[in-house]
Every structure is written in C-alpha cells, then in structure tokens.
Amino acid sequence: MGRHSGFLACHATLATSHVNFCLIPEMPIDETIGAAFFEKLRARLEKRRHAVVVVAEGTGQERLADASVRDASGNVKLVDVGVFLADRIKAHFKETDFEFTLKYIDPSYIVRSVAANPSDSVYCWQLAAAAVHAAMGGRTELIVGRWHGRMVHVPIERAISQRNRVDLEGTLWLSVLETTGQPAKWA
C-alpha cells in the first residue's frame, strides 16, 4: 500500500515513536540518497544498535519498475521495494564489514487484517447508507465521502482527476521529519 503516495507510511510513522526513517514515493530515490541513507542508517545503528525503516511500496519505482511489465489490471507491476531495500542494506553493510541483524516485515496483511474499531464501524455504516441513498435517488458514477463533517457525493471523474500526493513542504511530511529526525534532503 502506498503505490504512488506515502500517506499510509507517513501516518504509520507518526502513530509510533519507533520509526527512524520513512521513505515515500514523493521523495525520489537516486544514488545520492542511497549513499546518504546508508551513512545515516549506519550512524543510527552504531549509536542505538537498532533502526526502524518504513518504506511505502511505490518508493523508488521510477528506478526499479519496468514500465512495460503490467499486471492483470494494466497497471505497471511494481518491484517489491521492501525486499529490494533489505537486500541493498545487507549487501552494503557486508561490503563494509559492519555486523548487524536485519528483520524484514511485510505489513500488507497485518494492515489489512486489523479489526475495525467502533469509529471505523460507524464511518463504514455512514458510507454505506450514503451510497444506498445515492443509488436509490438515481445517482450513478460517483463516490461518497465525508467533507467538513457531512456526507457528500463526488463524481468519479472529479475524484480521479488528479493524484493526491504527500506535500514535501506540508505539515504531514514536516511532522514525519521531526518525528524521525531524518534529513529533509539526503544530499
């Protein structure tokens, strides 16, 4: 999750105080960030003997994915960036004779299987009721959502007209940087 934007990774990072690095698709990954990331990761490991890295699935895909390889829905098939990054970290530290233990956790099923809390259940009920009311009123080609505390109908064409992305100058990302202590720019 986080195919083209890092909202879930950012919110997961902010939900705990244990994350040291958060990598998202909005932040391009190049050789510079690679070297700087490994340097910061090693410094963290030397100082605290552990580090937690959260990486959104779309991170680095501009360098990793082959645009000609598509899934059954016609979307570009993404490279598993978590496995890629884990392998790169292992290889880098092996080359530098730095001993460490890496534990890789793919949270996709964990995230999808969390039980709904009462607030989630009420929100889902409200969405369902609004969708049924829209359909019974003859409304089609729309999605329902909450805007300023009210249920609203949004035409699908409008909803997909632009991709929502994490603003690297916005409050969410600045909060992530403050929480993790990672640099705003890797160069």
Whether 169 is in a domain gets the answer yes
Burial tier of 184 (Cβ tally within 10 Å: 0-12, 13-18, 19+): exposed
For position 53, which CATH number holds?
Answer: 3.40.50.460
Same domain, 100 and 128: no
Same domain, 129 and 110: no
Cβ-based neighbours of 26, under 8 Å, separated by 6 or more: 5, 6, 165, 166, 167, 168, 173
Same domain, 104 and 136: no
Same domain, 134 and 45: no
Same domain, 26 and 89: yes
What is the total count of domains within the chain? 2
Same domain, 45 and 105: yes
82 vs 102: CA distance, rounded Å: 12
The pairing of strands 142-147 and 53-55 is unpaired
DSSP E strands in the chain: the ranges are: 21-23, 53-55, 142-147, 150-155
Whether 43 is in a domain gets the answer yes
Domain interval for residue 150? 118-159
Q: How many angstroms separate the first and last alpha carbons of the chain?
A: 27
Whether 68 is in a domain gets the answer yes
Whether 11 is in a domain gets the answer yes
89 vs 41: CA distance, rounded Å: 9
Same domain, 51 and 141: no
116 vs 122: CA distance, rounded Å: 10
Same domain, 108 and 126: no
165 vs 46: CA distance, rounded Å: 34
Same domain, 38 and 102: yes
85 vs 94: CA distance, rounded Å: 14
Same domain, 101 and 68: yes
pTM confidence score: 0.84
23 vs 88: CA distance, rounded Å: 15
- pLDDT tens string, the chain, 187 residues long: the values are 568 899 999 999 999 889 999 999 998 777 667 888 999 999 999 999 999 999 998 998 888 888 889 999 888 899 899 999 999 999 999 999 999 999 999 887 777 777 889 999 999 999 999 999 999 999 999 999 999 999 999 999 999 899 899 999 999 999 999 999 999 887 6
Same domain, 48 and 137: no
Query: How many residues are listed for the chain in this entry?
Result: 187
Question: Percent helix, strand and coil across the chain, each rounded to 5?
Answer: 45, 10, 45
Whole-number pLDDT of residue 28? 79
